[in-house]
Amino acid sequence: MLIILAILAVLVTVFLSVVLQATVTTKSVGSLDGQYGFVLGNIDGITEADPYLTDLAMLGSHDATSNNITSRSKLEVQDAEGALGKFYPLVKGILYRYSKTQTVGLYEQLMQGARYLNLKCSIYTDGEWYGEHSLLSDKLEIYIKDLIRFLVEHPGEVVIAQFEPQYLGNGGTLSDLHNFVASVRYEKEGVSYGLMDFVYYDRVDAFNGYKDDGVYIGSLRYNDLTKNGTVAGVVLFEKRVSDRYNYWQDLGYSRYDDYYFDLTRNASNIWHHRMGSDNLFEQIDYVAELLDGYDYYSDKLRINQTQGSFTSNDIWEVFVEWSLLDFAKKHNEKLINHPNFDKWLKAMPIVLVDFVNSDAGNFNERVNQKIRQYNENLVKEILDKSS
């Protein structure tokens, strides 16, 4: 009987995948009003208060490089060469629904208030770097140029760019990624800019979190990163712990290596591995309580990873939602309406979501207002204490 049910499940999955593979995951593109190009630089008193980076609230974009994924996208190399590659033609109509989490490009996400960017990427067989989330999206160069353009145009803003390489190529290293990121140039009015032009901190400490002779994440302040609010700044992070490669083996040498903070050692970013808002909220509440009574992460990034994830524990929710975008459209509205949202924001000031510009329930507008108020209160509190 179990065998028959398993066969039926496979047949239904394949049928739905083939029939629906050309359809979009959600009809909503989300808000594109561009109202949030400035969310920090125009706060009264922010340079006088000079808050620590780790205390600032930010809206985060999860899988920010996934906006151009479609049912025709290619698998990233590591998966294409494995078992998934053999079955991909049968399941691609389903897979892209659980790969695409954003609807617009990086510049548009930044203009909708995103300041923490989760940037998954891989090198492809032709030697090009791509943004990806299991499936390839746009070339990584496009996303980096979007980020540089935003930094050029918005002095006083701070962006955290967290790169998450999924595949480095045969014999490739993290240093290859660092060199590529630094090589991308954006030109405006005859001036050429690179991302490293907006890094204003010195080399990070060698062990990334153990405070030796380099910059520690908890020491970075707003004025350090923006030259007292006169320019925009970027803080580079990367996720180095992976089952796909070992950081210490795969780091080559680049003069840019020392400017990337290790996410694992410098942040609390617990991934909840669940689908369904009730499941996520229960776990988020638990983490918020934990952080509230635990000083270890008080001077590190604290990230609320409030986005759904495919899991065997939530098969029904996964089937009903049918895509991460559709889930996020409903979940983000529930998130901003939740009575514990302010408590969660205090515990985890970075709110990392799928569909960052969703307009369902005015999510994008309301979450930006919440974050703005949080940062204004932070500045006021610092100034009151110093007066």
Question: pLDDT for 274-326, tens place per residue?
Answer: 778 888 999 999 999 999 888 888 899 999 999 877 665 555 555 555 789 99
- Give the angle 10-16-19 at the CA atoms, nearest 5°: 135
Q: What is the DSSP string of 197-221?
A: GG--S-PBPTTSSS-SSSB-GGG-B
Q: What is the pLDDT of the chain when averaged over all its residues?
A: 86
For the chain, percent of residues with pLDDT exceeding 90: 61
Residue with tokens 């499936």: 135
The pLDDT value recorded for residue 229 is 98
The pLDDT value recorded for residue 5 is 45
Dist. CA 387–CA 383, nearest whole Å: 6
The pLDDT value recorded for residue 17 is 46
CATH number at residue 99: 3.20.20.190
pLDDT surpasses 60 at 206: no
Number of separate domains in the chain: 1
> Is residue 8 very low, low, confident or very high in pLDDT (cuts 50, 70, 90)?
very low
* E-only strand ranges, 18-101: 58-61
Dist. CA 97–CA 95, nearest whole Å: 5
Question: pLDDT for 155-168, tens place per residue?
Answer: 999 999 999 998 88
Dist. CA 142–CA 194, nearest whole Å: 13
Q: Determine the structural domain holding residue 350 and report its residue range.
A: 2-386
CB 368 within 8 A of CB 39: yes
Which amino acid is residue 93, in one-letter code? G
Which amino acid is residue 294, in one-letter code? Y
CB 75 within 8 A of CB 134: yes
Dist. CA 129–CA 165, nearest whole Å: 10
User: Whose CA is closest to 69, among 137, 1, 10, 151?
Assistant: 137
Dist. CA 351–CA 174, nearest whole Å: 27
362 vs 275, higher pLDDT = 362
**Token pair recorded at residue 291:** 């952080």
User: Whose CA is closest to 162, among 308, 307, 350?
Assistant: 350
Count of CB atoms within 10 A of residue 286's CB?
12
